Structure 1
Amino acid sequence: MAFLRLLVLVVFACLCQAALTAAQVLQKLQAELKPKLSVGASISFNDADANRWSWYAAPDPAVIVNVKSEIDVQLTVAFCSTFGIPFLAQNGGTGWSTTFKMNNNGVIINMAGLNQVTFNAEKTQATIGGGVSINSTIQAADAAGALVLTGNCNCVGTLGAYLGGGYGNLMGLKGMGVDQIISARLVTADGKIQTVTASDPDLFWAIRGAGPNMGIVTSAVVKSTPASAADRSAWTGALIFSPDKLEQIVQAIGNLHLKPEMNIFMYFISSGAPANTPVVLLTPYLYKGDAAAGKVAFASLYAIGPIQDATAVVPYTEWNTGADGFCTRGGRKPSFSAGFQTMEPSAWRQIWDKYVVFQKKPGAENSVVLLEAYSLDKARSIPSSSTSFPHRGVNFNAVAIPWYYDASYDTEAINFGKAARDLWRSNDGLTKDAVYINFANGDDELSVVYGDSLSRLRTIKKQVDPKDRFNQWFNIPV
């Protein structure tokens, strides 16, 4: 480790010369940075869109550095910081924020090569690399005979979801993703690496809710639970309803008491080719449940009368597979989200009507509206002041995602998304607007994203990143 630190300092010193233009720096990247990177690391040019979930407002870098080690991240950050080149760490490439401003001369640090997941002997802790996807985390945990809280979309980066808050199937039992982090390895803007724990209360607080503003997390130690095969099962799947049942469904979800082992998703979604008729799809989830228990737990929804029931007992590795179509890369997907307290049937009917109009456009059949609802008692039993995540008091999160390929639809897509968001917020039951950062569009005020944590985050940001190098993800300017 002493040698590696010396190497970083030597490289950093060699790069610290008279200011260069962006074009000169990018040329030097291949000449001076690449030889210092790990075996297997590489530098590629202008192919960021190939791996993006959404092309809408996607980052437009000049260079992608595909790292293979923590030191590669450290070297790349040092290089970019030296020459004032914008940079962004990317894992799943699923972030849809419009805040990326790389001006075709920035660097994406592709974290996918940091893809290791390991467990301690007791299986009470997992160490997850900064390039590990949710699917890979689940597969590794299942092979180890353990459970780890993750998000519900397999293609998203595990730690990226954690750092913004981290909702997931097991949160009724375990709390949020931010509550699982025991320690994190962080590359800061000065090119240093540190292990952040509760012994550094300000920075540990800040990264758990606003992590990308403070540095790049190359790995984290998180809580894990030993689990038998029976413990690694759940009852879930699709319940499909005709649209005329929407008001009843919304009311039932609003009245549903979610126990710790339960959650429920609602989608406005296409029924599939060739007709692509829009339907209302629910995904109930009951940990360690079966069909009989599921029908009891979600009796109010079954009473409405689904036209199709595709629920079943599935293993841990298949909990998220129903949403795998959502991971399809490419297309334009400007997305608009809001948090709210109550389910208002009339607002949802208006959103449905607007959704149907847009979804019928040629090439827009995969557009979707998503609602997520979880048992929150466990998350709220943890002091809100323990992490910078600000919205533990929010009951529901929803997002409208117009999905299309023709850029001429942009104005209509934005109008639809904003209209849906406005309808949620007009009935949100909150004292002030709130949005989950991992769902936010990018046009939201920082106070809506960071809530009451914003002031303290500004203070910590000034200490950790005084030159505001980490400025791509809902930036907290110094």
Structure 2
Amino acid sequence: MRAVSTTLGALGLLLCVPSTLALPSDVYAAFTRPAQGWDAETTINFPNTTGFDEATERWNTLDQPTFRMAITPAVEEDVARAVRIAKAWKLPFLATGGRHSSTTTLGKLQNGLAIDLSALNSVQVDADSETLTVGGGAVFGDIPGPVYEAGFQMPIGSCACPGMVGATVGGGLGRWQGVDGLIIDNLLSVRMVTANGRLIDVSETSHPDLFWAIRGAAPNFGIITSATYRLRPLTNGGEVFSADFVLPASANASYFDLLQSLEGTMPPELATMSIIVYNETLAAPQISLNWIYLGSEERGRELVAPIFALNPISHNITMARYDTITGTAMGGGGYSICDTVSLAGFGVSYRRLDAETYRHVFRMLSDWYVEYPDGRTSSVEIEIFAPQAVMEVGSTDTAYPWRDTLGYTGISFSGTSPETQEAGVEMGKVVRAAFAETGGYDGLATYVSYGHGDERLSEVFGENAPRLVELKKKWDPENVFRYFFSLATTPI
């Protein structure tokens, strides 16, 4: 289709309109009539236009939603306006920031409205009040620079591209959590569009029941247009010890013993990430790992000394700053992981570190690489983050329940053939079950942001699931926010 651009009078609303509209004419008119009063910088785009592609492109292309129209609001009032119109015309919609999720439930949205928050990407540090306020479209990569320059830190994820707010509301785990807690533990308030299209302030003192719910399950309750966080003083002056290693397959058993030894002994400043991947050059699996220590180089080297004893293939040790660690750790993997993928993702959380489980998974993945050579981009990532500051908050104090988790595993299976893709989904479930069996929880426990989409509510929200279901009835009785582990339709 050929795209043309025009403006709606003095409003200046830019429309990128294809020659044939996919929307019914009355729905199209409801969004584009001048009387709606859109901000001059708000844009509406339709399929087969560059603007539409930019507003809807996702990190993971597997099981993704589809859209008839995309709106990129320039102001938060236009987010609320879009919700009201979409709801009135029964047009399903999804709001996104970084669009970095791989949860399959999002694929249930077909031919809907994309509300692209990327223009709401402000990052403001208030040094006097020691707070950070970000727009709903800001991503992790936007955060460390301004925060560090003001003399602070706050927990963020290890990748640059996920949306800050989107990652927050699932819980917000990461390398800093042993010292500063989860990201939700630093969340002070949000501006939010509710299911009836109202824009409200939500905090401990304003709609406290909703504030409890959004700290773990926000996609079920509304669209967050901005969020304010508490900042923390820099640990070790903002200097971070970072150690990358690549271990051969022969070292896996000893390394996994080392990981198990962290249970009950891990200092709050330590975070480890280990990825089982395939090395095409060696034609064998390997373990790529990064250990972060928020402290001195001397103490950091003491902590990683046992890894040197395993004769790594390669290593790189550096002292980095808080604002550069995303581009330093794991050979800059915090940016390279932002490249578009097509994978089946699974997640599992556990409070026991079991070396034999790790070895079992390593063997299964090694066999997988032999049987499915076109699936050698598949990987299993083992994240072990210190729990001390996370456990200072009770398991029912926020909607996020898994406060005593030590390990988080991200499971990614992909392949170039349909047969490998299908087999990868089944293998992902097998690997997930192996971790859950020895993980110390009563069944599967999943960090919602790592969820596949087939989990029950109790496997995602634990004992908090029933309370969330009741709050859903209050705040979104028509279930308009239903595409991310719907509290109204997913079994408990």
Output the TM-score relative to the length of structure 2.
0.87
Superposed displacement of residue 275, structure 1 = 5.5
The alpha-carbon distance between structure 1 residues 70 and 318, as it changes in their structure 2 partners (threshold 3 A), is same
How far apart are the structure 2 equivalents of 1:213 and 1:276?
Answer: 44
Of stretches 68-77 and 143-152 in structure 1, the one that deviates more from structure 2 is 143-152
Q: Deviations along 1:27-53, whole A, 9 cap, x unmatched?
A: 235523896322222122345596211
Secondary structure of 2:453 counterpart? coil
Q: Report the counterpart of residue 90 of structure 1 in structure 2.
A: 96
Cα deviation, 1:359-402, whole Å, max 9, x if unaligned, reads: 46455443221111111111101222221101112221102101
Q: Contact (CA 8 Å) 1:373, 1:396: kept in 2 or not?
A: yes
Aligned to 2:189: 183
- Are 1:347 and 2:357 counterparts? yes
Quick one: distance in 2 between partners of 1:125 and 1:151? 18
Code of the aligned partner of 1:426: E
Residues 23 and 68, structure 2, Cα contact 8 Å, conserved in 1? no
Distance 1:474 1:77 in 2: 20
Compute the displacement of 1:270 (Å). 3.9
Is 1:366–2:373 an aligned residue pair? no
Cα distance in 1 for partners of 2:218, 2:26 equals: 27
The residue correspondences of 1:152-191 to structure 2 (distance < 5 A) are: 152-191=158-197
- 2:272 is matched with 264
Distance 2:479 2:223 in 1: 13
Which consecutive unaligned segments of at least 5 residues does structure 2 have? 1-21
**In structure 2, what is the equivalent of residue 336 of structure 1?**
346
**Which moves more between the two structures, 90-99 or 422-431?**
422-431
Deviations 1:299-345 (A, max 9, x none): 44333332321121112222122323553433311111211232333
1:214 aligns with 2:198: no
Q: Give 3-state SS (helix, strand or coil) of 1:369's partner.
A: strand
3-state SS in 2 of match to 1:284: strand
Alignment match, 1:436? 447
1:475 aligns with 2:486: yes
CA distance in 2, matches of 1:55, 1:276: 27
For residues 33 and 170 of structure 1, the distance between their equivalents in structure 2, rounded to whole angstroms, comes to 48
Aligned-residue sequence identity (percent) comes to: 24
Q: Could you tell me which residue of structure 1 aligns to residue 463 of structure 2?
A: 452
C-alpha distance 172-103 of structure 1, shift in aligned 2 (>3 A) = closer
Which residue of structure 1 lines up, in the alignment, with residue 436 of structure 2? 425
C-alpha spacing 1:33/1:263, structure 2 compared with 1 (3 Å): farther
Instruction: Give the match for residue 231 of structure 1.
Output: 237
Distance 2:336 2:380 in 1: 12
1:240 match: 246
Given the superposition, is the C-alpha separation of residues 96 and 326 from structure 1 closer, same or farther in structure 2, using an over 3 Å criterion?
farther
**Contact preservation (8 Å) 1:52, 1:329:** no
> How far off its partner does 1:77 sit?
0.9
What is the distance in 2 between the residues matched to 1:263 and 1:33? Answer: 53
Q: How does 1:312-323 map to 2 (within 5 A)?
A: 312-321=318-327, 322-323=332-333
CA distance in 2, matches of 1:396, 1:193: 37
Contact 2:219 2:484 in 1 (8 A): yes
- On the 8 A contact 1:251/1:343 being kept in 2, the answer is no
Residue 24 of structure 2 is matched in structure 1 by 23
User: Are positions 1:80 and 2:90 aligned together?
Assistant: no
Cα offsets for 1:158-180 (capped at 9, x unmatched)? 11111001112221111111111
C-alpha contact 2:247 2:314 (8 A) present in aligned 1: yes
Q: Is the Cα–Cα contact under 8 Å of residues 122 and 226 in structure 1 kept in the other structure? A: no
Deviations 1:163-200 (A, max 9, x none): 00111222111111111111111100111011101112
Report runs of 4+ in structure 1 exceeding 6 Å deviation.
none
Out of 403, 413, 416, which is 1:402 matched to?
413
In the other structure, the counterpart of 2:46 is 45
Distance 1:223 1:160 in 2: 17
Does structure 2 retain, via aligned residues, the 8 Å contact 1:232–1:315?
yes
1:357–1:42 Cα change, 3 Å: farther
Q: 1-side partners of 2:464 and 2:26: how far apart? A: 36
Counterparts of residues 249-328 of structure 1 (less than 5 Å): 249-256=255-262, 257-271=265-279, 277-290=284-297, 292-321=298-327, 322-324=332-334, 326-328=336-338
Farther off after superposition, 52-61 or 316-325 = 316-325
| CA-CA distance at 1:355 after TM superposition | 2.2
Q: 1:353 to 1:28 in 2, by over 3 A?
A: farther
Structure-2 change in CA distance of 1:416 and 1:35 (3 Å): same
Deviation, structure 1 residue 123: 5.6
Amino acid at match of 1:246: N
Distance in 2 separating the partners of 1:294 and 1:67: 45
| Aligned-partner Cα distance in 2 for 1:142–1:250 | 34
Aligned-residue offset at 1:458: 1.0
Which deviates further from its counterpart, 411-420 or 401-410? 401-410
Counterparts of 1:369-380 in structure 2 under 5 Å? Answer: 369-380=380-391
Matched residue, 2:16: none
Matched position secondary structure for 1:386: coil
Task: Tell me the SS of whatever aligns to 1:432.
Answer: coil
What pairs up with 1:30-69 in 2 under 5 angstroms?
30-32=31-33, 36-46=37-47, 47=52, 51-69=57-75
